[in-house]
Amino acid sequence: MTKYYSCKNPSKRVKLKGKLLSTIEEKVINEVWYFSPRSGLKYKVTPDNILNIFKKLLIVLSDKDLSRIPISGKPDTKKNITLRKKLAGKFLVDNKNKICLWYVDPKEHKRRQLFMFDLTDMLRSMSVKMNQKDLDKIPNGD
């Protein structure tokens, strides 16, 4: 059974910032949106616009800072929790290579590497499910 997240109360929207959102109708996930913690706007994520969204919202980090955020699936030492919470829900890239794209999961405060070939499916699987009426209450970005 899928749990839906409601944002009837505007204060609950704060908890959604930095998260991926999706609508579900008849048990099918329709769209994926990214709710930017910086702008407070939601951005629709599609294969056609995903690179433009990342260009707007990416945070470039040094290799040293990036390495302070553990990778999802590996043991957690709970170190650097302040930095990890600060970057939760954000997309990151290292300043040297600019090859690997990362998303800091807001639940576990660990980074997940994102791959272009399955990016849409990966983002959809990590999204918070909600109904269209509640999603419409969050303003759209460009």
pLDDT over 70 (residue 50):
yes
DSSP string, 57-90: H-EEE-HHHHHTSPBTTS----TTHHHHHHTTT-
**Burial of 42 per CB tally in 10 Å (0-12, 13-18, 19+):** buried
**Domain boundaries defined on the chain:** 10-135
pTM of the model: 0.76
70-91 pLDDT tens trace: 999 888 888 999 999 999 989 8
- pLDDT of residue 62 exceeding 70, the answer is yes
Q: What's the whole-number mean pLDDT along residues 28-55?
A: 83
Where would I find the H helices in the chain? 10-16, 50-57, 63-67, 81-86, 119-125, 132-135
pLDDT tens string 109-129: 999 998 877 777 888 888 888
Highest averaged pLDDT of the listed ranges 22-26, 47-51, 101-105? 101-105
pLDDT above 70: residue 28: no
State the greatest distance between any 2 C-alpha atoms of the chain, in Å, as a whole number.
45
Is residue 6 predicted with pLDDT exceeding 80? no
* pLDDT at residue 116 in the model: 77
According to the model, what pLDDT value does residue 26 have? 62
